[in-house]
Amino acid sequence: MGGVHVLVVEDDDAIAVPLVAGLEREGFRVTRAATGAAALEAEGAEVVLLDLGLPDIDGFEVCRRLRSRSQVPILVVSARGEEVNRVVGLELGADDYLVKPFGFRELVARIRAVTRRSTAAPAGGTPQKIGALEIDRRTRRVRVGGEEIALTPKEFDLLACLAEEPGTVVTRHELLEDVWDPHWYGPTRTLDVHVASVRKKLGDPGWVETVRGVGFRLGKPR
């Protein structure tokens, strides 16, 4: 038994050793991988802390490969703070992006934010149907026109949040609080990237409508 199993992918011992020790003190179970190859071979993680500057495989490529085979929450940790890097990481399937140097308390808050919803007991009941869209909160599966759509944990949570009251505007602040964390530290750009990804995967931008200056609402394409 124990806490959430965290895979720390970091090649720098000076960072990784105290980080692992600190996370273990917080009650997490931690596995450390010093290379991209080792990260891809590791099993059983419930959240991945992924450094981009790895010695063998580019961190973005590791992120892409992990996401292609698993829905495990991925928190990218990097010294690369430029907006373009953040966006690329999120578009490849990362759930959040943290720039070095970062505070340990903030890191723990971010880990808890990305795991809070994905590890929660799913709600019961029958799948919700909105036109051709079907959301099954029990199995965390989404279908459009009967075809299953592969969403990341945060993409599912975002869609499920909007679907609680279809047609009702949900503010940006409410979405960040509900889907990420009540004490969200990250860039609000995270939300826009996830919305864009959900629209693309659902196949019609009309499913998620932007209400400029306020937030978003779940629509129903014609």
Per-residue pLDDT of the chain (222 residues; tens, 9 = 90+): 458 899 999 999 999 999 999 999 988 999 999 999 999 999 889 999 999 889 999 888 999 899 888 888 899 888 877 776 777 777 788 888 888 888 888 888 888 877 765 544 444 568 889 999 999 988 888 999 999 998 888 899 899 999 988 888 999 888 888 887 665 556 667 888 899 999 999 999 899 999 998 999 999 876
Which tokens is 105 given? Answer: 């308390």
pTM of the model: 0.61
Per CATH, the number for 128-218 is 1.10.10.10
Q: Select from 3.30.499.10, 3.40.50.2300, 3.10.20.30, 3.90.950.10 the CATH code of 5-116.
A: 3.40.50.2300
DSSP codes of every residue in 97-122: EEESS--HHHHHHHHHHHHHTTTSPP
In this prediction, residue 165 carries a pLDDT of: 84
Distance between first and last Cα of the chain: 49
Q: How far apart are CA 177 and CA 173, in angstroms?
A: 6
Q: Give the pairing type, strands 47-51 and 74-78.
A: parallel
Q: Is the CB of residue 10 less than 8 Å from the CB of residue 19?
A: yes
Q: Where are the domains of the chain?
A: 5-116, 128-218
Render pLDDT for 110-131 as a digit per residue (tens, 0 to 9). Answer: 888 777 655 444 445 688 899 9
